[in-house]
Amino acid sequence: MDPITDIFRTLHVTAFGLHRLEATAPWGVKQENQTEEKITPSGNKMPPTDLAHFAMVSRGNCWLSVEGIAEPIPLTGGDCFLLAKGTSIVLRDSPRTHPRWSFREIGATANGNVALYGGGGAPTTIVCGSLSFDRASLKPVTQLLPRFILMKADQARTLALHSTVQALASEMAEQAPGSEVVATRLAEVLFIQVLRAHIASGPERNKGWLRAVFDPQMGTALSAIHDSVKTPWTVESLAAAATMSRSAFAVRFKELLGQTPLEYVTEWRMQKAMQLIQERDKKLIDVARSVGYESDAAFSKAFKRVVGASPGEYLKRGFGDQGNAF
């Protein structure tokens, strides 16, 4: 199994906070860096689970300013982007317009899922929302997305993406019975399509986890891990799969992924375990064996070290809580 397929099968992407912004010039909206912890109903702290925010221009034109990018980017109908959590942006009708509202404030004023904002001039329609995994994300997941992905309407390999964008905008405009469910599913498809289009745009744009996946040697090792997570992997056996020396493999792996090979193996085992635990009909020892542990005690110890809670505590803490929308 290739690692990207395994990621999507294991971690269900959920879209939430979908709304349509009907803006008229002059207008400006900002999305500020949000890294605050959340509190579950039981009072426990948990890390933010938002994976990314997305927006697409379905009508009109606007300008996008992204933290860390010097020049504002012109956007037109059909353009869309994904923004990893923690990056600040500004969307506006002109680079000279001062943003007076945040996306959070705009969303709070929405009538249903439609927000009206601006001075009554040239219209622009933007469909936006947030994406999250349904449980706390570990390093393999947080390394999946680049900080910013922009897909222009005229780029190759985006025909299917544009069809999804149009279908999503239509569902949000019509508000027919079941539109909310359909829009959520389409947003999940949009996320996968944007990521696939980004990957196809060229290896030079891929860094970190994506770069490792497409590296011939590192990719082979990652595929081996994801194909059989319960195998008792060692650095030596993974290096052999990559046809590299142990030392060279360990250095290259840490350089690309920011963690050791066995840290990656353990974290992905725990991510698979979280999926199995959610099913609730499996005994702890069966979960443990499914991810490579012969005893539930050894598994529980590793789970608590990586996830920060025992398997039982993990279920009680409600790690599926969702955050605020884009």
**DSSP secondary structure letters along 127-176:** EEEEEEESS---HHHHTTS-SEEEE-TTSTT-HHHHHHHHHHHHHHHH--
pLDDT tens-place string over residues 274-326: 888 887 778 999 999 999 999 999 999 999 998 889 998 887 775 544 333 44
Q: What is the pLDDT of residue 11?
A: 67
> What are the DSSP calls for 232-300, one per residue?
---HHHHHHHTTS-HHHHHHHHHHHHSS-HHHHHHHHHHHHHHHHHHT-SS-HHHHHHHTT-SSHHHHH
User: Cα–Cα distance between 209 and 75 in angstroms, integer?
Assistant: 28
Domains of the chain: 3-202 (2.60.120.10), 209-316 (1.10.10.60)
* Residues facing residue 65 across a β-bridge: 90
Question: Which helix (H) or strand (E) segment is 90 a member of?
Answer: strand 89-92
Select the highest-mean-pLDDT range: 61-65, 165-169, 280-284. Answer: 61-65
Q: What is the pLDDT of residue 250?
A: 97
Residue 70's contacts (CB-CB under 8 Å, 6 or more residues apart) are: none
Output phi, psi for 26, to 5 deg: -80, 145
Q: Which amino acid is at 137?
A: S
Q: Which residue would you say has higher pLDDT here, 103 or 59?
A: 59
Q: What is the pLDDT of residue 176?
A: 82
pLDDT tens-place string over residues 102-133: 887 877 777 777 889 999 999 999 988 887 76
Q: What is the pLDDT of residue 164?
A: 82
Q: Which residue would you say has higher pLDDT here, 269 or 46?
A: 269
CA 293 to chain centre: 29
What is the dihedral angle through the alpha carbons of 190, 193, 199, 205, rounded to the nearest 10 degrees? -30
- Residue 154, pLDDT above cutoff 50: yes
Q: What is the pTM of this model?
A: 0.69
- Residue 55, pLDDT above cutoff 80: yes
- Residue 140, pLDDT above cutoff 80: no
CA-based radius of gyration for the chain: 21
Pairing of strands 114-118, 13-24: parallel
- Residue 173, pLDDT above cutoff 80: no
Q: Which two tokens mark 89?
A: 């942006």
Q: What is the pLDDT of residue 218?
A: 93
3-class SS at 31? strand
Geometric angle at alpha carbon 10, from 9 and 16, rounded to 5°:
85
pLDDT tens-place string over residues 176-227: 888 878 887 887 787 778 777 777 766 555 567 777 888 889 999 999 999 9
- Residue 9, pLDDT above cutoff 90: no
CB 213 within 8 A of CB 219: yes
Burial class (CB in 10 A: 0-12, 13-18, 19+), 214: middle
Q: What is the pLDDT of residue 206?
A: 56
